[in-house]
Every structure is written in structure tokens, then in C-alpha cells.
Amino acid sequence: MKKQVLIFFFYALCFCHMVAAQGFRNPVLPGFHADPSVCRAGDDYYLVNSTFQFFPGVPVYHSKDLIHWEQIGACLTRPSQVNLENTDGNSGIYAPTIRYYEGQFYMITTIYPSRRHFYVYTDDPAGEWSDPITIDFAIGSCDPTLFFDDGKCYFLWKDEYIKICEIDVKTGKQLSEIKRLWSGLGGRYPEGPHLYKKDGFYYLMIAEGGTEHGHHVTIARSRFLDGPYEPCPANPILSHFNKEMQNSPIQGLGHADLVEGTDGSWWMICLGYRTSGYLQHVMGRETFLAPVRWDKDAWPVVNGNGTIQLEMDCKTLPQVPMPEEISLDHFDNPEMQLFWSYICNPDMVNYSLKERKSFLRMRASDVSIDNLGAPTFIGRRQTELNFRATTCLDVNGLKEGDEAGIIAYAARLNHYEVQVTCRNGSRYVQAVIRIGQMKHIAYEAKLDSRIVYLRITSDKDFYHLWYSEDNRSFKLLASMEYRYLSTETIGGFTGVHLGLFVQNSRPTKGYADFDFFDYQTGPDF
């Protein structure tokens, strides 16, 4: 009886918390989660992001409250769906949009460098998605979206104008003439269009200013789908590119999407990034959330003043926590955890969770981390400036010339790693710094043990490279400034991934066995 009473009070407290939900912390999806798009199906919300050269393409997240998210799958999981051969951080999968209509989920996106649009669909966003349906017109543009209205499907995309036409959703074929809707307020790169219908108006929301510090969100509306569209007098409705927010740790807000909550409230998700010194960022563009007041016949107002904070003090939907991503992966599941990503379409022959129990075996590839192609690599997003990432490596399987280790990977020519290499029958631990055309071995020492622990940490200003042979006493090998992995320095659209790799300049039968990967965040690292 006592136990039952305690259980009752526990659930009562949980219920009270849900009803009285107040406030949350941004970003709601930290680390590289660019170009977010969101939809609602019943009481559930689903969100997707750009992935560029990383595979699987376009992760799918699920939430009950728009604050807590759990990855449930990905839209592009098969080579037949997407060919990422020789892509990098400036190419691959751009700006997806997810929509739900009559029991079907649709995800539409663009692949670079061909700039072809395609979409996939499913009735189960956690399962497999269809093979692509290609849009055979509007080639050379980007940022597509779908809009369903009165039983018809419309395709919108970014060109010199935001353009629209009706399509056959079953085939992708054009059904009407192409019309121009709006070109924004004159900011560069008007992009990321999303269309909504409310109170007899069509609202067209876009991003302008480029996905950098000057990024912002503008909106226009019309009584007619084809326009003309009248800009909001309070544009931009979201921006940190002003004097008031110039010192905010959040910058580059834009590429937004709107969704109506189950209680009739409205919410905006958008991209932005957290900076650290020099107004630079290394974690890529992240997903932020803000409440929206959208009265009848009125314009949407974002968070009262068109800004977003890290700590949001506002009424929320009833909060429903989701399972968090595990921090310590022992590689004891039959399948890889969903948070792991590969570069390009991976050769899965080089990865095994079965050959040695509770180890990830990765085989050396002759595709280097430095080169275009699909190296033997797995990575997870860096989500905080302060972190500690550690792995345990059994080097017994390495062959002459093999290199295996842990890496902070921003781009193929910009990464820091601690690796073990095999040379003349001996094994050496090295700290390697790669910055553009410069590759520097900052430290090298001969290893005595077949088991070695490799670690990368960050204190927001520097990345630090470490190793140990006993997992207790770690030796600092090198430190390097974070800004050489920042987007502002190297360009591209992706953030740092922390991961594992094995490589060689020539084919071998060598391999590395990784016992675990431990990723911890917090101010102490």
C-alpha cells in the first residue's frame, strides 16, 4: 500500500510539472543541426536537418513538446536514395523540408553539386523512406518546400525569386505554370521559403542575409496564393544582426519554420550558432526554438521582440522528456547508434560490430581523411564548447603504415587527431594538426602496450590532445586553437564531429578494435 501511495505521488508530481511547464534552454538540438524543418502529426512533432556530405542523410527527430527531441531514424539510409560520392562540407544534402498530409510524411531536399530537387515519403517516419521522386525542372536552385492546399500540392523553391507551381505529388511532374511570389526586402540570398495558410491569408516566410551574422527572417502575406505579397511592417521578425543583440552568444539566426502546437499556440524553430571569442563558431548551425504570438488576422511576433535567448522564460507545452543520447558507447548493440555519421556513402565492409564482441572493428581504407571520398570514419556531433572525448584502442591488428585514432573533424583539410601508426614493426602515438595545406606532427612517442587510451578535450578556446596507457594518467601531447576549425576560418556548412578513423595510403588487411567511445560535456572539461 505504501509503495502504491509513493507511486501515486510521483506521477502526480510529474503531472503537475507537465501542466505548469515553464521555460527551456536553447538550443533544443545542439551541435550541427542546420536548416531545421518541423511538422506536426496529431500530438507528435517531427523535425529534420541538413546533413551535407554525412550519411545517413537527413536525421528524423521526434518530440511531444518541441523542446525534448529523440532521433528515431533518418530519411536517406540507402545508396539508392542518395549518392554522396566525392562530396564535402559545401555539397551534399541541402535544406530539407518535412511535411505531413493525409497520413503521409514527405521530405523534400536538394543535392549538390547537381542542384536537383527530390523528395521521399513514408507513413512511418521512424522506418524506411521511399526511393526518391525527382523534380525534373527547377534545376540549379535550392531550398525546396511543399505546400498542400485544397487537395493540391505546390512546390516552392529559391531562385532569384521565390517561385511556385503545382505538382503531381505521386510523380513530381509540373502541373501549372511557374509564378514568382516574392524576392524579400533586398537582403542577399533570399532563401528557405515556407508557406502557411491562416485566417484567410497565405503567409510566405523566408530567410535573408546569408547564413552568417547577417542572417534574419522576413515574412509577407497575401489573400491569394499567387500574390501579390505584402511585407510585414515589422520585418525582420527575427534577427540578432543589430546593436541590441550584437553581444549575444547566439548569432546567425534564420532559416525558420513555424508549427502550431496542440493547444493552439505557435512556435518557431530556426537555425543559429553559439559563438566563443572572435565571434567564431565550431559546432555548426544549431536548432533553436521560440514562442510565437500569432493573433487572428495579425502578423506573427517572435518571442515578443524578435530575439532568442539561451534561457527561455516562457510558457511551454506540457513538457515530456525523451531518452537522451548515450554518452558512453560500448559498441555492444547489434547496430550502430543513430547519432553516428559517416563521410559520404560508406563501404560497410570496413565496419563490424560482430567480429569481436563489444568492440567496433574498423578496417584501414586507402581513402584518407584528407581526401575526397569515403574514408573509414564514424563521428558524432560536438554539442558543447567544453567536452571530453575518450576512446580505448587495441592496436594489435594494425599493419605497416596503418593510422588509427580519435579525431576532431571539421573538414577534410581541417582536423586535429591523436593516432597510433605502425612503422617498421613498431607502434607510435602521434598528435597531428591539419590546417589547410599544413600537416604537422606535434608529438610522437613509441608505444609499449597494445592497449592505448586516446582523448580530445576542449576548454572553449583550445582543443587538447592526450593519450594514456593505463586510463588513469593522461599525457598532454599538444594544444591548438579552436578557431582553425571554425566556420569563419575554413568555410563550409558543417560543425565539428568527434570520431574514430583508420586509414593507410595503400590497401592493407589491417584493422583497429575500438572498445568504447565516451563523450562527456560540461564546464570541467
Where in the sequence numbering do the catalytic residues fall? 35, 191
Q: What is the chain's Cα-based Rg?
A: 24
DSSP state of 174: B
> Identity (one letter) of the amino acid at 131?
D
Residue found by looking up cell 531518452 in the block: 323
Q: Read off the C-alpha cell for 168.
A: 503531381
3-state secondary structure 353-420: CCCCCCCEEEECECCCCCCCCCCEEEEEECCCCEEEEEEEEECCCCCCCCEEEEEEEEECCEEEEEEE
Of 303, 238, 232, the closest CA to residue 270 belongs to 238
Nearest to 198 by CA among 146, 140, 247, 258: 258
| CA distance to 156, 200, 208, 225, per residue, from 180 (Å) | 10, 20, 17, 11
What is the rounded CA–CA span in Å between residue 480 and residue 500?
Answer: 19
Order across the sheet with 152-158: list the strands.
Answer: 142-149, 152-158, 162-167, 179-182
Burial letters for 161-186: b for 16+ Cβ neighbours within 10 Å, e otherwise? bbbbbbbebeebebeeeeeebbbbbe
Grid cell, residue 226, equals 499567387
Q: Where are the alpha helices (DSSP H) in 63-207?
A: none
Contact residues for 14 (Cβ-Cβ < 8 A; gap 6+):
none
User: Which is it for strands 230-231 and 133-135: parallel, antiparallel or unpaired?
Assistant: unpaired
